[in-house]
Structure 1
Amino acid sequence: MTAGLELTRTGNVARLTFTRPDKHNAISFDMWSAIPDIVTEVEDDPSVTALVVTGEGANFSAGADIAEFGELRSTADGAALYDKAVHAAVTALADMVTPSVALIRGNCIGGGCQISVACDFRFAAEGARFGITPAKLGIVYDYTSTHQLVSLVGPANARYFLLSGNLVSAGRAREMGLVNDVYPDGEVDAAVEDFVATLATRSQTSVRGMNRIIGKIATGQNEPDDEIERLRRDAIHGADYAEGVAAFLERRKPRFTHHH
């Protein structure tokens, strides 16, 4: 595993942890570059029902490791190569059909916030702080990540984050639509555990299929395509549909099998 990242597994839940607490979990070029393969590993395992992304210690991530910028982003070609790695990581996370949940404490800033926005859900501890800060560095934010942010919080809030570079509290982030929910620090782990346990009880055919469709809508697709029609058709003929209907009629909880 790449230095600064740790992938673990507990039951049906995979966990990707940033492990540079002494650097506020700053994300290095090597860490950005490793994320797509980690995502592929999680996606290829049909028994994984959720990926939790979090940071070791007090912070989620304070952002890209700017200490590397002098060397890696000192030329236009170097900046383009760096941006390509960031774009690949963010796209891989956003395109997952396995649900992804960012569990956030402390600073979730810059590239750290970029990662959290690429996840499907964001749950934060009360002391968390959010900000996206390219305007402090003379950088124009990546199109894909800007699109994801606008889709999540709307143009007015996206402008607030990007043009000001100001940090906002967890409560304000929830009001702006950036965060799904906020919990006292001591309760956020249990809340995420409960949520991913709920996801695991649902039909994975439904969860993955609907997550794929939402992803297509979020990137601007306005009409169903052959893939969407196939997902819906296969679901109707699948074991989960038969079990879901039978369970409803028999007034019991469904017992779905985990599969793609």
Structure 2
Amino acid sequence: MAVGEATLTVETAGPVATVVISNPARRNAMTPDMWRQLPLLLDRIEAEPAVRVLVLTGAGDTFCAGADLGDVDEMLAAGDASTAVVAEERLAAFAKPTVAAVRGACVGGGCLLAVACDLRVVADDARFGVPPARLGLVYPTPATRRLAALVGPATAKYLLFTGELIDAERAARVGLADEVVPADRLADRITDLTGSIAVRSQLSVAAAKEIVDGRADPERVAWWHGQARTSGEAREGVAAFHERRPARFAWTFPTGE
């Protein structure tokens, strides 16, 4: 990667894949090309059986300062069909657990990428903001509703109406952050958390994600229960509990799931 290049990179360590947002000249703002690239990367990572957890983070000491605003007329014309919306929706629908590791600015499109993840572990120097009212923009419907579902209508309105930044402590109080850690401990905490998730039954984790997110209809729920009956995951988990040993879970998504 050339110095100063705006790009997304993927780093894989065992069962954990990390997507790194890098645009040093613009505090890791997402360019149109980066928005278009993200769903393709997610498709590739999701299809890799060895990957059990996805981490999204920013290069250096900034998560993402938002979207590179570029052509305003093009943005206005796209509305809810923008490449940013497509990317955020793909991230929200990712079949495996996703964790945002946040340092520094997490603003605008960056904040909504973090909201599209399942969990957000943030450094104590993190700052969050959603600035459409500063720019005269109408935020996309899916992202706005996802934000409101996470933090509640009143806090979502506060963020959207004022465009003000909130610190990590307040983000944790309103549910925007799941954990706050010292900045120099963020990488270690992400390693510990993703390692814990990766050794759990991926059947249990994937089913829980779909059900919590409201994406599992009765037929799909019945499919998950069928997987639990036939996969051997529960028998292995119970045996490991009684034998006081780590469970050796082996379930992965069937091809095409």
TM over 0.5: yes
Instruction: State the AA in 2 paired with 1:98.
Output: K
Match of 1:59 among 59, 62, 71: 62
Identity rate, percent: 38
- The answer for the alignment partner of 2:243 in structure 1 is 250
Partner SS state of residue 163, structure 1: helix
- The answer for the alignment partner of 1:69 in structure 2 is 71
| Cα deviation, residue 132, structure 1 | 0.5
- Is 1:139 matched up with 2:141? no
Deviating more after overlay: 249-258 vs 93-102: 249-258
- The answer for the alignment partner of 2:233 in structure 1 is 240
Given that 1:47 and 1:258 are in contact with CA atoms closer than 8 Å, whether structure 2 keeps it comes out as: no
Partner SS state of residue 257, structure 1: coil
* Cα pair distance change 1:8/1:236, threshold 3 Å: same
Match of 2:29 among 26, 30, 34: 26
Q: TM-score, normalised by structure 2?
A: 0.92
Count of aligned pairs between the two proteins: 250
| Cα deviation, residue 258, structure 1 | 5.2
Given that 1:54 and 1:103 are in contact with CA atoms closer than 8 Å, whether structure 2 keeps it comes out as: yes
Question: In the aligned structure 2, how far is the partner of 1:152 from the partner of 1:70?
Answer: 28
* Cα pair distance change 1:106/1:72, threshold 3 Å: same
Task: Summarize deviations over 1:117-160 as a string: whole Å, max 9, x none.
Answer: 00001011111100011111111111111111111111111111
Partner SS state of residue 216, structure 1: coil
Question: In the aligned structure 2, how far is the partner of 1:239 from the partner of 1:144?
Answer: 37
Task: Summarize deviations over 1:182-231 as a string: whole Å, max 9, x none.
Answer: 000100110011000000110011111111111226xxx8xx42011111
- The answer for the alignment partner of 1:211 in structure 2 is 209
- The answer for the alignment partner of 1:150 in structure 2 is 148
- The answer for the alignment partner of 2:163 in structure 1 is 165
Partner SS state of residue 103, structure 1: strand
Match of 1:49 among 44, 47, 52: 52
Task: Summarize deviations over 1:155-187 as a string: whole Å, max 9, x none.
Answer: 111111111111000011000100000000100
Given that 1:21 and 1:58 are in contact with CA atoms closer than 8 Å, whether structure 2 keeps it comes out as: no
- The answer for the alignment partner of 2:196 in structure 1 is 198
| Cα deviation, residue 21, structure 1 | 2.0
- The answer for the alignment partner of 2:11 in structure 1 is 8
Partner SS state of residue 226, structure 2: helix
Q: TM-score, normalised by structure 1?
A: 0.91
Instruction: State the AA in 1 paired with 2:56.
Output: V
Give 5+ residue unaligned stretches, structure 1. Answer: none
- Is 1:230 matched up with 2:230? no
- The answer for the alignment partner of 2:87 in structure 1 is 89
Given that 1:17 and 1:54 are in contact with CA atoms closer than 8 Å, whether structure 2 keeps it comes out as: yes
Given that 1:97 and 1:209 are in contact with CA atoms closer than 8 Å, whether structure 2 keeps it comes out as: no
RMSD: 1.8
Write the mapping of 1:172-187 to structure 2, written as runs, cut at 5 A. Answer: 172-187=170-185
- The answer for the alignment partner of 1:103 in structure 2 is 101
Partner SS state of residue 87, structure 2: helix
Give 5+ residue unaligned stretches, structure 2. Answer: none
Question: In the aligned structure 2, how far is the partner of 1:45 from the partner of 1:209?
Answer: 18
